[in-house]
Amino acid sequence: MTDVVTGNPLLDDWTAPYEAPPFDRIEAAHFLPALDVALDAHRAEIEAIATDPAPADFANTLVAIERSGALLARVRRVFWTLSSAQADADLRAIEEEMSARLTRHATAIGHDRRLFDRVATVWRGRTTLGEEQHRLVDNSYRGFVSGGALLDAAAKARFAAIDERLGELSVRFGHNVLAAGTDWSLLLDEAGCAGLPDSVRAAARRRAELAGKDGWLFTLDRGQVEDVLGFATDRDVREKVWRAFTGRCDGGPHDNWPILTEIVALRQERAHLLGHASYAEEKLEDSMARTPEAAMALLDRLWTPALKRAADEQAELQALADAPIEAWDWRFYAEQVRRERHALDGAAVKEHLTLDAVRAAAFDCAGRLYGLRFEERADIPGWHADVRAWAVSNSGGEPAGLLYTDYLARPEKHGGAWMGSLRVQERLDGRVLPIVYTVANFAKAPPPERTRLSIDEARTLFHEFGHALHALLSDVTYPSLSGTAVARDFVEFPSKFMEHWIVSAEVLEGFGVPAPLITAIGQADAFGQGFATVELAGSSIVDLAIHMTASPAPDVRAIAAATLERIGMPATIGMRHRLPHFTHVFDGGYAAAYYSYLWAEVLDADAFAAFTEAGDMFAGELAQRFRREILARGDTRDAMADFVAFRGREPDERHLLLERGLLG
């Protein structure tokens, strides 16, 4: 490295095992100087490609583009990892500037006509290329077109301004959600904690002590909210927590309505510049669904039976309640139904599901399915004391990658759970191993207690681990086709697929869960499918509706309200994510694509049925075929071709309807 970058850990050579980032040395002050160096390096690389005097071909254009930007990718990935999982004030202060610089840089490359012309030349002759090369050229060409490469100068300028503004607004939206969560807390007394499991009370007591307060402290972390709504006998407490959680950023100092309204309008304008009728049409062009109408059709087919099933479930709940069921009552009485009619005690299940045991079970399942081994590496630092690093290897001992796990909630974290990559697998210039992380927000138990998970939290851990496996088991040549870089409505397939194992009798027995309780989990799981489907599908339908409009200035609030009225959304359920805090859509990659979770469930239910039909959920031949045809392929071919290669046919929606209990 040159003298300009000496001492900046983001730019120094990384000498840790797996060339892991030196998180123990990285500070917020390192990022902007490192970004300057990385941007300059990438500009020089792109300029060399664009001005190459040799005729454009696959090697000197597409492969050269794939090789470029390695330093920038390093800086960018580390920053977004920390800004989401360890977002202290110093990082938040530079997030808008980082986003703006990165957006301007990407737009400038996308609008470079010299570079696009070279890519287009290769694209026109792509029929002579192999499958993976053909896919890379197609993706690159479409990426340039959707990035505005064919626009005139004035339109390009407006396009660039829109993209930069969208980046700014997305950051502000996420900051507001984070702030709204950290600004609110509820201190309960002994009476207010009535009904809460001992482990939940102990964690709340510890939070209060750390805050210097006497009582039991609760925040708007989803896990804590679910505990209160599911177990607190004090109805006023449940209502207070429900209203605070669902009302985040809906007015007040962190109001996100103006931000999300501008985001939707700018997305529409951007889509119109590219010749699309709506943003949803633009976004779904390269998806499995292909069109928003096809995605909405799936949701409509699920909605009617789900609504009926939810009404039946509500009738069961109402039979136990003294007053009409409200939204803050549903989880409480659902827990009673599970306990009284299905013999499922959620608190009893939680006693068996310690965080360490659930993680170990996920690792064990990956071992039995794919031959993977996981070894903790205490010599590799994480970005927080709670982060643990794991060396991943194949059955023969060959290294497969590095996995970080970061499961415990803390104020600096964004809410929810996610997976990301610090380095993607590739073999363009030799084998490059992936570095992957999974993040969640489970409430930490006070020492010496062990952190325990609900069955839904255990599902979340397995879900994100499924994403991690998709990245770890990738086996492609080109980095832009690696791992989870697939269609948005396909990327949730491997993660939803992995959820089946945590609720299986064979895995639950390993936690010491008694047989009657395992049976109860299955029965109770079937009971809540109406609620779960309505909650998820409702959010998906509204997301599509606000992005399907052709209006240049849509009234988002009115469209959302009209859509919920049209579909008959029960007030006792509501959207899983209301728009003002819907980070998937306004601070993530799921705009017009939240339906992907249900679309992917069609794939995963059908794929898992293959194991059910085989009578062995660890069937070796099926697991290896799933690894080979789904997990290893990345985006090297059409997603439907991946599924057909595994299952032998296109997916059958009936398996999802059966799994969710929506057939009869």
Cβ atoms of residues 460 and 498 within 8 Å:
no
pLDDT in tens, 154-168: 999 999 999 999 999
Say how far apart CA 28 and CA 550 lie, in whole Å. 41
pLDDT in tens, 94-152: 999 999 999 999 999 999 999 999 999 999 999 999 999 999 999 999 999 999 999 99
Please give the sequence-ordered ranges of beta strands (E in DSSP) within 298-448, or none if there are none: 373-376, 388-393, 399-408, 418-423, 435-442
Find the helix or strand (DSSP H, E) in which 541 lies: helix 529-548
Structure tokens at 569: 């959304």
Tell whether the model's pLDDT for residue 605 goes beyond 60: yes
Confidence of residue 3 (pLDDT cuts 50, 70, 90): very low
Confidence of residue 415 (pLDDT cuts 50, 70, 90): confident
Say how far apart CA 200 and CA 214 lie, in whole Å. 16
Q: Report percent pLDDT > 70 for the chain.
A: 99
Q: What is the DSSP letter of 59?
A: I
pLDDT in tens, 527-545: 889 999 999 999 999 999 9
Residue 16: predicted pLDDT: 95
Confidence of residue 468 (pLDDT cuts 50, 70, 90): very high
Structure tokens at 340: 């009284």
Give residue for tokens 């310690």: 354
Residue 664: predicted pLDDT: 63
Residue 235: predicted pLDDT: 98
Tell whether the model's pLDDT for residue 637 goes beyond 70: yes
pLDDT, averaged across the chain = 95
pLDDT in tens, 218-239: 999 888 999 999 999 999 999 9
Choose the catalytic residue: 464, 492, 499, 535: 464
Say how far apart CA 468 and CA 470 lie, in whole Å. 5
pTM: 0.93
27 is catalytic: no
pLDDT in tens, 165-202: 999 999 999 999 999 998 999 999 999 999 999 989 99
Say how far apart CA 180 and CA 257 lie, in whole Å. 14
Pairing type for strands 399-408 and 435-442 reads parallel
Give residue for tokens 């998970």: 453
Residue 183: predicted pLDDT: 93
Edge-to-edge strand ranges of the sheet holding 435-442: 373-376, 388-393, 399-408, 435-442, 418-423
Confidence of residue 525 (pLDDT cuts 50, 70, 90): confident
Please give the sequence-ordered ranges of beta strands (E in DSSP) within 424-540, or none if there are none: 435-442
pLDDT in tens, 5-55: 678 999 999 999 999 999 999 999 999 999 999 999 999 999 999 999 999
Say how far apart CA 176 and CA 52 lie, in whole Å. 46
Find the helix or strand (DSSP H, E) in which 216 lies: strand 216-218
Distance of CA 569 to the CA centre of its chain: 25
Residue 552: predicted pLDDT: 87
Residue 4: predicted pLDDT: 45
Q: What is the residue-wise DSSP string for 612-645?
A: HHHT-TT-HHHHHHHIIIIITTTTSS-HHHHHHH
Question: Where does 58-112 have alpha helices with state H?
Answer: 64-67, 70-85, 89-110
What number is the average pLDDT over the span 357-376? 98
pLDDT in tens, 555-598: 999 999 999 999 999 999 999 999 999 999 999 899 999 999 99
Say how far apart CA 552 and CA 267 lie, in whole Å. 9
Distance of CA 158 to the CA centre of its chain: 30
pLDDT in tens, 246-300: 999 999 999 999 999 999 999 999 999 999 999 999 999 999 999 999 999 999 9
Give residue for tokens 């249900």: 598
Cβ atoms of residues 210 and 411 within 8 Å:
no
Go through the domains of the chain in sequence order and give each one's CATH number. 3-150 (1.10.1370.40), 184-247 (no CATH), 257-323+523-659 (1.10.1370.10), 350-498 (1.10.1370.40)
